[in-house]
Chains A and B, each alone.
Chain A
Amino acid sequence: MSDSSIKARIALVGNPNAGKTTLFNALTGKNQKVGNYAGATVSRKSGTFFTPHGHKLELIDLPGAYSLDPNSPDEKITRDVLIGDQENEETPDLILCVLDATHLERHLYLLLQVLDLGYPVVAALNKIDSAEAQGLSLDPTALSEGFGVPFVAISAMTERGITQLKHALRHPFPSPPGRLWKGPAELEDAIEKSIKLAETKGETHPTASGLTSVANKGPETKEFIQKTRFEFIHRVVEAGLQRPNEDSLALTDRIDAHALHPVRGWIIFTALMLTVFWSIFKLAEVPMGWIEQSQEALQGWVESLIGEGDFQSLIVDGIIAGVGGVLVFLPQIVLLFFFISLLENSGYMARAAYLMDGVMSKVGLSGKSFLPLLSGYACAIPGIMATRTIPNAKERLATILILPWTSCTARLPVYTLIIPLIFAGALQQGLALFGIYALGTITALFAAKFLKPSLGKTEAPQFLLELPPYQKPQWTHVLRQVGERAFAFIKKAGTVILGLSIILWFLESYPKSDSDDPIVQQSESFNGQIGEIMEPVVAPLGWDARMGTAMMASFAAREVFRSSLAISYATDEEDGEEMRDRLTASTRADGAALYTPLVGLSIIVFFVYALQCLPTTVVVRRETGSWKWAIGQLAAMTVFAYLAALMVYQTGKLLGYS
């Protein structure tokens, strides 16, 4: 144990969507992401908490698994941790098995498998309030007697029963009951021999190895063991669970009758998405105005405080313009995360995946791929990690490779800067934003169609997904998640964007020109020189040198495109003029408007398709296990983005647009 004060390590294990992360947050006081859909947690996370006796325990939150026979990479992590196959991970001292009380029979299968491994176990009967509301009558004592481990009824969401659970986790832990089910003598002999063999080989978990090797002898044996476990569960559950008659339609059924309807379901889905994108423009207007006003006031205050010169320029034109230019989009990003968080918490995400399966199957993917793609709208990195829930390896790889084309929030500042140059009115702007997201998603799906066959032959993906009941969003979690994202954005603005803004200001301001003309200064600066090199490359896209250098800078972080333009055009500033007005007023050498709708479209198309995010490339390398895919993806998406922007601009020109 790395920390000597930690008394023991406890692993949280359970089926997907059993409420493990909610319980983890309730016990440790942390704020890990929770979602009302299977696959919200795909990697190991840890925290600590104290028992009522003052013992410090480490709690490890593991990805959900239906069984210890993994069907996807996230389930494999859980299995590997429990059997001691995970690198740099000690096996836990106790398993806290989280069971959804509303779906108890299904969840008990994993508990039996964990008991087979010989661990001490405490079972948390989570969502007990929902079970009671459904009229389910649970007897934790009968279940404890049947399984030989303590059962504690809890509600992780409302923190009911958490104290009792902490009491049950007191040290020393309950002794492990071991394997509860028994097969015929022949099978028992085979298991015993296999375990002894594993012991002589010095395996970490001889019981697990012994059982696995017997089960792998043939499908009949595996099937027999599975059935025997379920028969045991049936016997115990008969004493510990009583169900009411399920004739009445639950609220979830009534909502799903519309939400999953082949026609009405799509109308609801489209309406929801349109509302989200419209809200991003409409509801964010006021707070964005406040930030802009504050930025201008701050610039004015600094100008009055510091005399004219390089230092003032660094603060006003470099730092405040650069960082403020990005911070102004905070309300829109907060709104997008708020809506994504609402969809995740309410249980609608799984319905969207169900609806999308028909579309996804046409491109060789399944609805399961849609959940990571939807997560990609927030950020590509958790989206790529969420592909661990996809059982089919080829489908997973194809999803990872296309995922960056679902527009993440880092692109939002670029879109929301350029869209108003093309469209007026919140509704049109919302529709345009919806169109941009649709463009990225549709192209990603087409890419999957052409990409998947080249990845090698594979079985057609099968759709199998749990649809959780709808629930009221957990507002504290929603607000905490949004708050964390907002903080992360502000932190990025205060660190990466700040640093890059200073560099960009330096490149824009030096070397100093003898001329007082700001245009001459700009052309002779480092940025101007880089722009000169870039101009022949970006001119066919309709861009000028400043856009070229901003695009180059945005490879460090997409938001820097906005900062770079803000710094570049700061010298053109007229009193009280907003940046968008400055862009609209800027002209080419021949006096023609620079930021025409066609040029705006070309910029948007480039940003929809370009993969300008090095952390994403690093994560792709980690998840695919190869630099070949990561670098290939970066190169292919950059080239595609350039060609797409080129095609849009040149075709537009041919059609007579400027």
Chain B
Amino acid sequence: MVLGEVSASEVAVIDRVSPEVLQMVPASQIRGRTFLLLHKKTWDLDSLNYSVPGTSLKKATEKSRLLLRNSLNKISFVQHMANFAKDLELDSALTLSQAAIGCEFQIRQVQGPACSQLRDIGFCEQMRVKKLTDGRNMLCTVCGTRLALSRDLADQIQVVPA
């Protein structure tokens, strides 16, 4: 997963962020959500000592630090970084039924009651898939094979642009 030049594991998502924080930490808005770009960040929220390469946080005022702390407390799903990155990836992933026709995707996750059957037929994580038609049943190609599958099954396949 790549957002511009930034790896997903270096990105945090928060629901609300104050303008002061945005001045301190590079961020971008994608589909109405704020993505903080935390380049190899290390946070120590108790002492409010933090460092982000490429920013000069020591120059931040006490007020800015307080605002940043408040904002970070509002992060709705601060977790362990690995889970955090996974959530982000899934957040930006689409189901195969939502994916656009004619575009190539990579399967990120197969989850649901039919996941085992879908993997057996070729819809496995990391496989490339191209959606050909939409509708009640959709056509797609996986590794050159044309497969028809129902919308319910396509909903169990999460993809990201390849």
Q: Which residues of A are in contact with B by a Cβ distance under 8 Å?
A: 66-67, 69, 71, 102-106, 109, 134, 136, 219, 222-223, 226-227, 230-231, 234, 243, 246, 252-253, 256, 260, 262, 350, 354, 357-358, 361, 366-367, 391, 459-460, 462-469
Contact = CB atoms under 8 A, between A and B. Distances in A.
A634 to B, nearest CB: 34
A466 B144 contact: no
A69 B148 CA distance: 21
B148 A464 contact: yes
A529 B150 CA distance: 59
Given A106-B121, A106-B145, A464-B117, A256 B139 contact: yes
A106 B146 contact: no
28 contacts: A66-B121, A69-B120, A102-B144, A102-B145, A103-B143, A103-B145, A105-B122, A106-B122, A134-B144, A136-B144, A222-B116, A223-B115, A230-B119, A243-B144, A246-B130, A252-B146, A256-B139, A256-B146, A260-B133, A354-B148, A357-B136, A357-B150, A358-B136, A358-B137, A367-B137, A463-B149, A464-B153, A465-B149
A598 B91 CA distance: 66
| Most chain A beta carbons < 10 A, residue from B122, B142, B147 | B122
B121 A464 contact: yes
B124 interface: yes
B121 A463 contact: no
A277 B127 CA distance: 44
Given A231-B126, A464-B150, A467-B148, A105 B133 contact: no
Contacts of B119: 223, 226, 230
Contacts of B15: none
A466 B120 contact: no
Contacts of A358: 136-137
B132 A463 contact: no
Interface in B143-162: 143-150, 152-153
B125 A227 contact: yes
A227 B124 contact: yes
Contacts of B148: 350, 354, 357, 367, 463-467
B4 interface: no
A467 B150 contact: no
B114 interface: yes
A466 B147 contact: yes
Nearest to A234: B126
Given A69-B120, A462-B152, A467-B147, A106 B139 contact: no
A464 B142 CA distance: 13
| Most chain B beta carbons < 10 A, residue from A105, A136, A231 | A105
A105 B143 contact: yes
B150 to A, nearest CB: 4
A654 to B, nearest CB: 42
B32 interface: no
B140 to A, nearest CB: 10
Contacts of B54: none
Contacts of B124: 109, 226-227, 230
Nearest to B111: A223
Given A226-B120, A466-B145, 9 more contacts: A66-B120, A104-B143, A105-B127, A222-B116, A223-B115, A243-B144, A350-B148, A358-B137, A465-B148
B135 interface: yes
Contacts of B126: 230-231, 234
A230 B125 contact: yes
Contact of A103 (B113, B130, B144, B153): B144
| Most chain B beta carbons < 10 A, residue from A69, A136, A226, A350 | A226
Given A226-B116, A227-B124, A106 B137 contact: no
Given A103-B145, A223-B115, A262 B135 contact: yes
For the complex of A and B, list the 8 residue pairs with the smallest distance between their C-beta atoms, beginning with the closest. Answer: A106-B122, A67-B120, A66-B120, A467-B146, A463-B150, A105-B143, A103-B145, A230-B124
B127 A354 contact: no
Contacts of B153: 462-464
Contacts of A226: 116, 119-120, 124
Contacts of B127: 105, 230
Contacts of B145: 102-103, 106, 466
B112 to A, nearest CB: 10
A51 B143 CA distance: 34
Contacts of A260: 133, 139
A469 B122 contact: no
Contacts of B125: 227, 230
A391 B121 CA distance: 13
